Amino acid sequence: MSEISSKEMVKFYAGNALPLELHKVRVVQKLHLQPIEQRYRALQEAGYNSFLLTTQDTYLDMLTDSGCNAMSDRQTAAMMLADDAYAGSQSYLRLEQRVQDIFGTKLVLPVHQGRAAENIISQAFVRKGDHIPMNYHFTTTKAHIEINGGTLHEIFTDEALKIKSSHPFKGNIDINKLKNIIETYGVEKIPFIRLEASTNLIGGQPFSMKNMREVRSIADEHGLMIVLDASLIGENAYFIKQREDEYKNAEISTILREMADLSDLIYFSARKLSSSRGGIICTNDEGIYDKMRDMVPLFEGFLTYGGMSVREIEAMAVGLEETLDDQMICQSPSFIEYFVEKIDELGIPVVTPGGGLGAHVDAKGFLSHLPQEQYPAGALVAAFYLASGIRGMERGTISSVRDETGNDILADIELMRLAFPRRVFTLSQIEYTIDRLRWLYDNRHLVGGLEWDAEPRLLRFFLGKLKPIGDWPQKLMEKFRNDFGDSL
């Protein structure tokens, strides 16, 4: 296993270590950088929840990469070739062939997005009292499994939750913990083992091919199924190529196919993987396929569109092919690596090494004066929006749930995620992000906590509203004006 290093596809004569855009901008969208006073009003109306802000009041939308990646000219052109048909569309047949070519899976089910796939998989395989081991959960995955009566077990390695680390594969499953789960609950209570590529909630951290092979060996020994969430498989394959010696000369397509071959069932959100909309479930096992097939018409739509428009189907087919291009898939990880290294040099606590999807700022380290019960990740997201107009996402206790007694189940880590959608931001915008984060870090003592104002029962981080504890937003605004004058 190699040490982590930045692969410089292009070297600068001056020695600069800069990520180079390997695309040109042909269509632009106007952005809105509002004065801080307007940002404050918008934050109040949104209940200090970044999901409830609008793009009219947002300068850089770093909430997520889901559905926000820039589409290519080839994807846009393909949408004009769409075959509008309820059943048997040629557009779907083209997508099906692309999935079969890339993943090597002959049986394909379309769904409208990734969580729709989770719904179908959970209803098909999870029963009350089941236990599902995984490297780490995603919010909607957890909800679907628990609604169907299952319990998930996060069996990550000791490195996974370390904020500052040089370990290249913090998304690995701990093999000894996996063996213990099987021994404790028995194979009859474990419908599958779930592996998530580039684990979303712990910093977009990948797993290694070596680890996946080890998981496969355990699964085969006990007759267990492996379910792969491939929504960020492109980035995970890229990191394997960069960080695992055996694969340094391998094509992304070869790495991706091997990951697919080690899986029994694959699903993904096209909003991430192929810079489009929609989702896919695929397998080579007819028994697995038959347990899910009839749910697609029930929940999603006919088997040749699955709730997607045929135009998105065409865009997905092209996007999947483009995911195999090194120059495309490296763009987001290289920008993330640049950003993470810069703010790490400034002493700002951030998850290292940089992963896929986005940069993850350690809110507990940033706002060390706040107890976890006051939601430091949510407070940091709100404060950073106020200081910059940049919308990030809370990935901490607000994204968790309450226990049977009504107390918060405190998150393992409190993160502000700043997503880096593919081919969306310029380097000057990233420098602006670094600058405003640096200012906020220097004034972090002004930031206070949050408390609930209106708390939904399920997935509260989407629609819930909070309020500040004390008048810290006003104090932060006052300091901003003192330091920046009339600047936006």
Residues identified as active-site: 86, 138-139, 229, 272, 395, 461
| SS3 category, 242 | helix
The span from the CA of 106 to the CA of 123, in Å, is 22
The span from the CA of 301 to the CA of 86, in Å, is 9
Neighbouring C-alpha atoms within 13 Å toward the C-beta of 469: 14
The amino acid sitting at 96 is E
Q: Please name the residue that has the structure tokens 């080579």.
A: 284
The span from the CA of 459 to the CA of 358, in Å, is 21
The DSSP code for 283 is E
Tally of residues, the chain = 488
Residue 16 burial class via C-beta count within 10 angstroms: exposed 0-12, middle 13-18, buried 19 and up = exposed
The span from the CA of 57 to the CA of 212, in Å, is 43
Cβ-count burial 388-401 (b if 16+ within 10 Å, e if not): bbbbbbbbbbbbbb
Q: Which of 238, 264, 160, 243 is nearest to 205 (CA)?
A: 160
The span from the CA of 480 to the CA of 200, in Å, is 32
The span from the CA of 458 to the CA of 254, in Å, is 40
